[in-house]
């Protein structure tokens, strides 16, 4: 079951009585209990995003009494959109998102199906999958940069052992190799996460459906396409949304593994905004890039919200 479906049918009887004084009281109580948490979230996420829009319309200079803001209209956005580095970063991040999420969902589904078929050792296998998931991304980046090292990396050794290459390759020295290195490192950490979400969905599928399909003579591919994937729809959507938003915010991995290189070929949008802020000390410009990212992600999030229903459990 995914969280999109677990919420149905558990209405509390308390909540069903309507129009009584008690109802009003619990409604007010609900607001009071939720208010502090919601306020903190809003203050630290929504308010800053609104402030970021203001920053993106300003020239921000560090002054004696903190930052000084001058309204400059859309100048920061114009500068960003005229900069080929910005387009390159958006193109890289977009390509990376599509490629990595497609690959990870496919592999995640394969791993989930494999675990679902296990009758023994499933517990220990799930435990082994939790390890990459719990990995600190920065550590993973350092580890993979060692594995992909052009001089002594074990990736070269293994590829030479099976005869794919004849001499060591400098993976991180060319754009394709660096892209692949990022993809491998990311996929290693993320496939377990996707697999666990999809495995939860698989567990909820009635196994008798498979038995019935088999009796009707359906081949495995047909069962996958016509029973498993449609019934996993909600879990797949959840995994895709989480992965897309994370991939679009890609930062830790390229910052450490490729440092955006070679050149700027693996510079993500988040890295670009970070560099604008902390290398060029151009807060307004960095805010403009951050706002562009926010806008793109928000559009995706709104599209997602339309396919997503939460039961209020008392309507």
Partner 1 sequence: MTKADGTTRTHARPPKIKPRLRSADVVGALIGVAFLLPVVWLTVCAFKPVSELAAFPPSLLPIPPTLENFGAAFVDGDFGAFLWNSLIVAVLSTVVVVCLGLPAAYGLSRTRMKGSARILTSLLIVSVFPVIAVIPPLYVILRGMGWLNSYQALIVPYVAFGLPLAIWVMRNSLLPISPQMEEAAEMDGASTLRTIIQIIVPQALPGIFVAAVLTFVSCWQEFLMALSFNASAQYQTAPVGIALFGGAFQLPFGTIFAASLVALVPIFVLVLLLRRWVVDGLSTGAVKG
By CB under 8 A, name the one of 70, 95, 102, 142 that touches partner 1: 142
Mark the segment that binds partner 1 (CB under 8 A) among 77-85, 169-177, 218-226, 293-301: 293-301
By CB under 8 A, name the one of 97, 100, 228, 235 that touches partner 1: 235
189 is an interface residue for partner 1 by CB under 8 A: yes
258 is an interface residue for partner 1 by CB under 8 A: no
222 is an interface residue for partner 1 by CB under 8 A: no
By CB under 8 A, what part of segment 57-76 binds partner 1? 60, 66-67
By CB under 8 A, name the one of 21, 64, 151, 162 that touches partner 1: 151
By CB under 8 A, name the one of 63, 73, 152, 163 that touches partner 1: 152
Tokens found for residue 36:
């502090």
CB of 273 to partner 1, least distance (A): 5
Residues 6 or more apart whose Cβ sits within 8 Å of residue 132: 140, 188, 189, 191, 192
Total interface residues for partner 1 by CB under 8 A: 131
Residues 6 or more apart whose Cβ sits within 8 Å of residue 99: 183
19 is an interface residue for partner 1 by CB under 8 A: no
Mark the segment that binds partner 1 (CB under 8 A) among 95-103, 174-182, 194-202, 221-229: 194-202
Strand 66-71 and strand 58-63: pairing? antiparallel
- 286: closest CA among 43, 45, 55? 55
Tokens found for residue 66:
């903190």
CA atoms 26, 28, 29, 34: torsion sign: positive
By CB under 8 A, name the one of 41, 98, 164, 219 that touches partner 1: 41
d(CA 187, CA 100): 7
Rounded to the nearest 10°, the torsion over CA 177, 180, 185, 188 is -150
Q: Under a CB-based contact definition with an 8 Å cutoff, are residues 199 and 191 in contact?
A: no
206 is an interface residue for partner 1 by CB under 8 A: yes
CB of 265 to partner 1, least distance (A): 19
By CB under 8 A, what part of segment 83-112 binds partner 1? 111
Q: Under a CB-based contact definition with an 8 Å cutoff, are residues 2 and 197 in contact?
A: yes
Residue whose CB is less far from partner 1, 15 or 218: 15
Q: Under a CB-based contact definition with an 8 Å cutoff, are residues 248 and 89 in contact?
A: no
By CB under 8 A, what part of segment 294-313 binds partner 1? 294, 297, 301, 304-305, 308-313
293 is an interface residue for partner 1 by CB under 8 A: yes
By CB under 8 A, name the one of 27, 61, 214, 222 that touches partner 1: 27
CB of 148 to partner 1, least distance (A): 11
37 is an interface residue for partner 1 by CB under 8 A: yes
Burial of 5 (0-12, 13-18, 19+ CB in 10 A): middle
238 is an interface residue for partner 1 by CB under 8 A: yes
d(CA 277, CA 284): 8
By CB under 8 A, what part of segment 109-128 binds partner 1? 111, 114-115, 117-128
Residue with tokens 């890289």: 92
CB of 160 to partner 1, least distance (A): 8
Residue whose CB is less far from partner 1, 44 or 215: 44
CB of 174 to partner 1, least distance (A): 20
- 134: closest CA among 90, 193, 86, 181? 193
Radius of gyration of the chain (CA): 24
């Amino acid at each position: 079951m995914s969280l999109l479906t677990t919420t149905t049918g558990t209405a509390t009887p308390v909540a069903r009585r309507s129009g009584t004084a008690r109802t009003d009281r619990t409604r007010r109580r609900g607001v009071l209990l939720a208010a502090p948490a919601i306020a903190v979230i809003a203050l630290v996420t929504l308010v800053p995003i609104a402030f970021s829009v203001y920053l993106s319309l300003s020239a921000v200079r560090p002054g004696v009494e903190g930052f000084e803001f001058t309204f400059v209209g859309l100048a920061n956005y114009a500068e960003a959109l005229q900069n080929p580095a910005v387009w390159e970063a958006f193109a890289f991040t977009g390509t990376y998102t599509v490629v990595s999420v497609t690959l990870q969902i496919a592999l995640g589904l394969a791993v989930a199906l494999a675990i679902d078929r296990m009758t023994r050792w499933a517990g220990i296998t799930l435990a082994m999958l939790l390890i990459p998931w719990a990995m600190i991304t920065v550590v993973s980046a350092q580890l993979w940069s060692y594995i992909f090292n052009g001089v002594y990396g074990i990736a070269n050794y293994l590829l030479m052992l099976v005869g794919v290459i004849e001499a060591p390759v400098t993976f991180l020295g060319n754009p394709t190799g660096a892209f692949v290195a990022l993809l491998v490192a990311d996929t290693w950490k993320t496939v377990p996460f996707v697999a666990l979400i999809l495995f939860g969905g698989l567990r909820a599928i009635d196994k008798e459906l498979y038995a019935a399909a088999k009796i009707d003579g359906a081949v495995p591919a047909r069962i996958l396409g016509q029973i498993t994937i449609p019934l996993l729809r909600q879990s797949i959507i959840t995994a895709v949304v989480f992965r897309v938003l994370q991939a679009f915010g890609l930062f830790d991995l390229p910052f450490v593994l490729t440092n955006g290189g070679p050149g700027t070929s693996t510079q993500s949008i988040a890295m670009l905004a970070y560099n604008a802020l902390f290398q060029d000390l151009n807060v307004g410009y960095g805010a403009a890039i951050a706002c562009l990212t926010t806008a793109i992600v928000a559009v995706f999030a709104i599209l997602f919200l339309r396919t997503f229903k939460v039961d209020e459990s008392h309507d």
